[in-house]
Chain A
């Protein structure tokens, strides 16, 4: 492929999905207008946009709350997951003792422990409760992926490190962590989405005006049958999820494109 063709292909990869999206919105608008469906059943995109504009300050405030909880929970999940995986990699006994409980934490549906966490933390500190719940949701993929990644270092390279008398610390930092990086990044991509889901679920459960995130706006709009506003909040929530996914994909590409098969663009 020539330079021009490559550029064209990249533009196309961006333009085609956008064109599909626009076509979908136009079709939606036309169908809603033509059929006369009431806005409280299915509002037209133009009505949703109006609602978004009208409620902009409150929705942005809520977006900020959800974004803050999601990203803090995600970052703490990365720190905790990678940290615990490193601890596991240093001792099989520690791993044997604690890994099953990490699994228990993962398989227990987050929504079922949400009320308990809320009561323990208290309704005066709802944001902390949301943070804990989102963290629980996001934590496990990082832990399990990093654990696998730390173990996947090339055996011959490990022998080579031993041959040169490398310390545990050197083996960890120079061999195991770089080997685990693709696994950690894959775990982060899953966790980014889960952190958002955890936040939304926790907000739903917290409810009753104590939480002010986007999920709460959806519940609130639903109670008032303000469906356009509900869609507006939903739109922002999706946009947030997409932004998280793209940010993590970009990070993965930046870190791996020089050496890892998954990120190397091939010709032809």
Chain B
């Protein structure tokens, strides 16, 4: 296989992914998707559509009941992955730098050796001066930045985010959206971003997978036809508003009985 052909292959392929919980809820039924390398894809849908479940299956945290997942580089096993939860999920007993150190520590890298990478990761999220404080001293937005720094400290090829900014106020969220896009354009880690906000998904992504509930499935695959960097102008553009309308319509159609 030539390098070009490999480049054209999707980073991860999902074939017929299904998941039923022990209580009988069908979280996902027959989900097919391909995710391109270096892309920014959002999973958007109402609560209960299985978007978080799908993300956890992609991360390898839960196993699907049916279907297959194959990664271009590593086969069934996922490659290095950064994961950001809805809550910052920091260890309250550890200082910010120690929280960011965690993925490297678990891989056996000492604090001294990891120090430059921890500093760089904190600098990238604008928290260079907060290495020695405890999480409780930070605001919600800053905690989320620490969480992102922790996810990116290993420079993973893939970043999975599960409604990361849903609990934040709108100003903080817009700022974090912009900062996330800056990081992504600079480093081009493949990003899969789960959100229930249509606006956020359109603003951030190259591509949106619209999901519907009962059973969880993909309703539509919508491309966002706009280049990066995106800013305030994009939020007010016709492309943005039209795409929001398209996503919204796809969600409405899926909700029909």
Contact = CB atoms under 8 A, between A and B. Distances in A.
Contacts of A112: none
Interface of B: 56, 59-61, 81, 83, 85, 87, 89, 91-94, 102-103, 105-107, 134-136
B83 A259 contact: no
Given A175-B91, A178-B93, A165 B106 contact: yes
Contacts of A157: 89, 91
Interface of A: 154, 156-157, 159-166, 170, 174-175, 178, 181, 258-260, 264
Contact of B91 (A162, A178, A258): A178
Contacts of B136: 259, 264
B62 to A, nearest CB: 9
A164 B61 contact: no
A154 B93 CA distance: 13
Given A258-B134, A264-B136, A166 B106 contact: yes
Contacts of B94: 178
A73 B94 CA distance: 32
Given A170-B106, A258-B134, A163 B60 contact: yes
Nearest to A182: B93
Contacts of A165: 106-107
Contacts of A178: 91, 93-94
A181 B93 contact: yes
A87 B243 CA distance: 56
A258 B85 CA distance: 24
Given A170-B106, A259-B92, A160 B134 contact: no
Contacts of B61: 159, 162-163
Given A156-B87, A164-B107, A259-B136, 15 more contacts: A154-B89, A159-B56, A161-B106, A162-B61, A163-B59, A163-B60, A163-B61, A163-B81, A164-B102, A164-B106, A165-B107, A170-B106, A178-B93, A178-B94, A259-B135
Nearest to B107: A164
Contacts of B81: 163
A256 to B, nearest CB: 9
A239 B107 CA distance: 50
B99 to A, nearest CB: 10
A264 B134 CA distance: 12
B121 to A, nearest CB: 15
